[in-house]
Structure 1
Amino acid sequence: MLLAAMLAGGPAGAQDLAWSNFDFSGYVSAETRIFPQKPKYAEQDSAIVSPSTALQPELRYRWNGRDDRITFVPFLRLDADDENRTHADIRELNWYHAGEDWDMVLGIGKVFWGVTESRHLVDIINQTDLVESPDEEEKLGQPMANVNLMRDWGTLSFFVLPGFRERTFPDDDARLRGAMPIASGDATYDSNAEQWHVDFAARYAHSFGNWDIGLAHFYGTSREPVLRPAVSDNGDMVLRPHYDIINQTSLDAQYTVDSWLFKLEAMTRSGQDDTFFAAVGGVEYTFFGVMESDADVGLLAEYLHDGRDDRTPETPFENDVFLGTRITLNDMESTELLAGVILDIDQEERIFSLEFERRLTDRMSLEIEGQIYDNVDEDDILGGFARDSYLEIRLSWFF
């Protein structure tokens, strides 16, 4: 319907729907999560191997000299053990138009802000699709009207965000759910409009010299819920998500010099009890052509600070250090490896992470991801994940 509406208002030539203007691609994947340990809680699924499959086609139609584009990216996952992970979403369904020194997006889209590796503090437009991965990298599609003004002195971006997406959470009996079940379908809101509250955001971005900077402000429903203890209809203790109205001002910056990358993400937020400040900053140094090969090896170090109190959404990253390495072979198979660990300075907890990717053929790739929760304090926010270390193997076919 959106495609028909956009083309009906476009130039006459656009209505011909020339097949050469269509692009169709996407992937289908088969995945397996392996949990080496038995679950911590009796009600959790005890399967050691948990398979799933995912499908994400991508359809694009371009016209008007490619200045106009319709994009449709649906997503579907079927999971053998987690009912909440069996879900569908529209990642993108929007109309993009490019003007001479401006462009716009109208519909459902995805926007990413951030530069650091261990945590993306400033990435707030899209809601986290937590059932996809506990690293909070996967996002749900967000309804939006976005206008970008490109000038010599930088780019100004304005967002109107009608319609809020609740965060997805694993099912009550699933692995990686945490210490208590989360009543994700019974959320409460700070705004009387609830999920229909209209949010707003603006961002200034510019690259000059060796610098890339972004300065943004967001007003609306927080993408991070406060999880409040409650009693379900069955009389069980659960955590009920509550979404506050917040103001968040953020800065992301990257400075590049020779083989060095200096990175910073910082933000201040009000509306969830006391105003607090959080930041992630660090450095990445890359050795190019190691041992006269085509391989590059990067060393990463970041410090994570978060000053929120106990009445705001909990985080395990209050005073932590991230150390990691990125290995890129630059071979025909595009082999890449990212491995690292987040160290809690106060409680000595550790989260080890691994991401590996290699193309097997022109249309197939292998990915291996995983996290290990080590030396976890039973009373800490990570206590519920103590036995949920996992390894995920994904085989994807692209079309």
Structure 2
Amino acid sequence: MVMTGAMTALTKAATGARTAWSGGILATCLLAATAPGALRAQDFTFGGSLDATLRYYPEDGLLRGQGDAGFQTIISGELDTRTRFESGTLVFEVSGLYNTDTGEGYADIPRGYYQYFGDGWDLLVGSNIEYWGVSEGNRVVDTVNQRYTIDQTVDYISLGQPMVNFNLSLGLNSTLSVFGLVYFRDRDLNTAETRFRSPILVSNNDAVYEEGGGRNFDFAARFRSSFDALWGGMDLALSYFDGTDRAPSTLPSICVVPTGVFDRSSCTTDLIDNLPDLHALPYYAKLRRWGLETVWSRGSLQLTFEGAISNAIDETYYSYVAGAQYSFGGIGPTGDTLTVVGEYLYDNRSRIQPLTIYDDDVFLGFAYTGNDVQGTAVRGGMYYDVNSDAQIYTASYSRRIGDAVRVEVAAFGVNSADTRDPLAFAQNDSFVQLSLEYFF
């Protein structure tokens, strides 16, 4: 629902995790930090932010349980510390979000790790966020971290993932990264009050995991390289993930046997079509995904592509985003920058896979960045569904007030006249909001 990639580097990256493993992560980081050769701290930084948002929905929700037109208040914040030692860095961050009207939200340790730096290699142990992908409209290769999707209309919210991460420099601007993912967290699922949701409600209390409770060890790897190509520069990344899918499928209970195996013979198209009238459950399947990311740049032009081949529930499907960005610099007396982007989004997954609305869409967006001390930024985007003509709009304006406060005005809109379109359930979920963020 939001422009990702380079443009969203200007927005905050809110994240989330469970306290059940937070103490273990912190203890691991502290033990690593106090190991021989890492005793003397050389630098310590501390900071954070608090954000208060007032959101207004001009229309009542269409679905049962959703609120009437009116205001909602959302509080969020983050706190981060970073300590540099002789041989590594200790990072600890906490963040959270709470909707005072619906009771929805999260609390998390997005980053709580110790990173040891060797000669041409480094080792990270703890909770971290690993962003993959180069597109603005959708990240089809970003797989490692769980996401907070209940309020996905403004920010792209990734949640901390406990991991052991080894990075090796291969020379020639190339790096190999290997990840051992030691914990799986269920996705926070929509409640009846959630705006911009599916009409089908499921609970993780009924969740079924193909891999025995979803607590198996997951593996990921990524190779990155930069080089000259075709009179420009090329960034290339190849990735692989083998583990439990972070996004659950929504399936009739008759489609899954108690051991967690998907029963294709029982799961007919008619059953999927009649999910609202059946008992549905979230199904976390075993996922294998191969990813490719490329960025070719020359001057102010960038051509981007990211694609994924995914295999889950005995089915292989393909997803990709292809597009271009162009930046116009030196605008106006202060030398502002305007970046425009156009992308095509495609996904051919079937209805037994986790839901996506980006199956055949065009994304157009822009980011205007002021070259001023207030950090003025204006962003906007539109998704257009080629098949149904449905549209999603996003827009925001932000600017600092003094040294410690940022104000942002944002809007989100949905236009879907076709009742058969997946976005029809969100026709009344457009909103505007005002946010004040204090930094310390």
Same fold judged by TM-score > 0.5? yes
Which residue is 1:221 aligned to? 244
Closer, same or farther in 2 for the Cα pair 1:394/1:53, shift >3 Å?
Answer: same
State yes or no: 1:186 paired with 2:206. yes
Query: Pairwise CA RMSD of aligned residues?
Result: 2.1
Cα displacement string for residues 115-153 of structure 1 (whole angstroms, at most 9, x for unaligned residues): 110001111111111134246710110010000001213
Give 2:217's match in structure 1, choosing from 198, 206, 209. 198
Show structure 1 runs of 5+ residues with no match. none
Distance in 1 (alpha carbons) for counterparts of 2:409 and 2:278: 35
Q: Which amino acid aligns with 1:294?
A: G
Distance in 2 (alpha carbons) for counterparts of 1:276 and 1:78: 36
Which residue is 1:326 aligned to? 367
State yes or no: 1:164 paired with 2:192. no
State yes or no: 1:103 paired with 2:122. yes
Q: Which amino acid aligns with 2:247?
A: E
Which residue is 2:35 aligned to? 9
Which residue is 1:94 aligned to? 113
3-state SS, counterpart of residue 136 of structure 2? coil
The answer on whether the counterparts of 2:251 and 2:352 sit within 8 Å (CA) in structure 1 is no
Show structure 2 runs of 5+ residues with no match. 1-26, 255-275
Closer, same or farther in 2 for the Cα pair 1:44/1:389, shift >3 Å?
Answer: same
Q: Which amino acid aligns with 2:54?
A: T
Q: Which shifted more, 220-229 or 23-32? A: 220-229
Q: Which shifted more, 236-245 or 363-372? A: 236-245
In the TM superposition, 1:359-374 aligns within 5 A as 359-374=400-415
Which residue is 2:81 aligned to? 59
The answer on whether the counterparts of 2:38 and 2:88 sit within 8 Å (CA) in structure 1 is no
Distance in 2 (alpha carbons) for counterparts of 1:354 and 1:185: 36
Closer, same or farther in 2 for the Cα pair 1:319/1:278, shift >3 Å?
Answer: same
Which residue is 2:58 aligned to? 36
Which residue is 2:20 aligned to? none
Q: TM-score, normalised by structure 1?
A: 0.91
Distance in 2 (alpha carbons) for counterparts of 1:229 and 1:348: 29
Aligned-pair CA distance for 1:22: 2.3
3-state SS, counterpart of residue 140 of structure 1? coil
The answer on whether the counterparts of 2:29 and 2:125 sit within 8 Å (CA) in structure 1 is no
Distance in 1 (alpha carbons) for counterparts of 2:412 and 2:52: 19
Distance in 1 (alpha carbons) for counterparts of 2:69 and 2:388: 30
3-state SS, counterpart of residue 124 of structure 1? coil
Distance in 2 (alpha carbons) for counterparts of 1:229 and 1:369: 37
Which residue is 1:382 aligned to? 423
Distance in 2 (alpha carbons) for counterparts of 1:138 and 1:187: 22
Closer, same or farther in 2 for the Cα pair 1:392/1:150, shift >3 Å?
Answer: farther
Distance in 1 (alpha carbons) for counterparts of 2:374 and 2:67: 37
Aligned-pair CA distance for 1:47: 5.0
Which residue is 1:125 aligned to? 144
In the TM superposition, 1:286-301 aligns within 5 A as 286-291=327-332, 293-301=334-342
State yes or no: 1:83 paired with 2:103. yes
Aligned residues: 388
Q: Which amino acid aligns with 2:359?
A: E
Q: Which shifted more, 265-274 or 201-210? A: 265-274
Which residue is 1:137 aligned to? 156
Which residue is 2:18 aligned to? none
Q: Which shifted more, 174-183 or 95-104? A: 174-183
3-state SS, counterpart of residue 2 of structure 1? helix
Closer, same or farther in 2 for the Cα pair 1:22/1:2, shift >3 Å?
Answer: farther
State yes or no: 1:395 paired with 2:436. yes
Which residue is 1:311 aligned to? 352
Distance in 1 (alpha carbons) for counterparts of 2:247 and 2:154: 14
Aligned-pair CA distance for 1:8: 3.3
In the TM superposition, 1:200-279 aligns within 5 A as 200-209=219-228, 210-229=233-252, 239-279=280-320
Distance in 2 (alpha carbons) for counterparts of 1:105 and 1:52: 33
Which residue is 1:112 aligned to? 131
Aligned-pair CA distance for 1:287: 1.5
Which residue is 1:347 aligned to? 388
Closer, same or farther in 2 for the Cα pair 1:155/1:24, shift >3 Å?
Answer: same
3-state SS, counterpart of residue 425 of structure 2? helix
Which residue is 1:45 aligned to? 67
Distance in 1 (alpha carbons) for counterparts of 2:434 and 2:205: 30
Q: Which has the higher contact order (CA 8 A, sep 6+)?
A: 2
The answer on whether the counterparts of 2:389 and 2:416 sit within 8 Å (CA) in structure 1 is yes
Distance in 1 (alpha carbons) for counterparts of 2:308 and 2:319: 6
State yes or no: 1:302 paired with 2:343. yes
Distance in 2 (alpha carbons) for counterparts of 1:69 and 1:274: 42
Distance in 2 (alpha carbons) for counterparts of 1:211 and 1:272: 35
The answer on whether the counterparts of 2:416 and 2:424 sit within 8 Å (CA) in structure 1 is no
Q: Which amino acid aligns with 1:379?
A: R
Distance in 2 (alpha carbons) for counterparts of 1:3 and 1:251: 32
3-state SS, counterpart of residue 159 of structure 2? coil
Distance in 2 (alpha carbons) for counterparts of 1:76 and 1:157: 29
Distance in 2 (alpha carbons) for counterparts of 1:183 and 1:150: 43
Identity value in percent: 28
Q: Which amino acid aligns with 1:268?
A: I
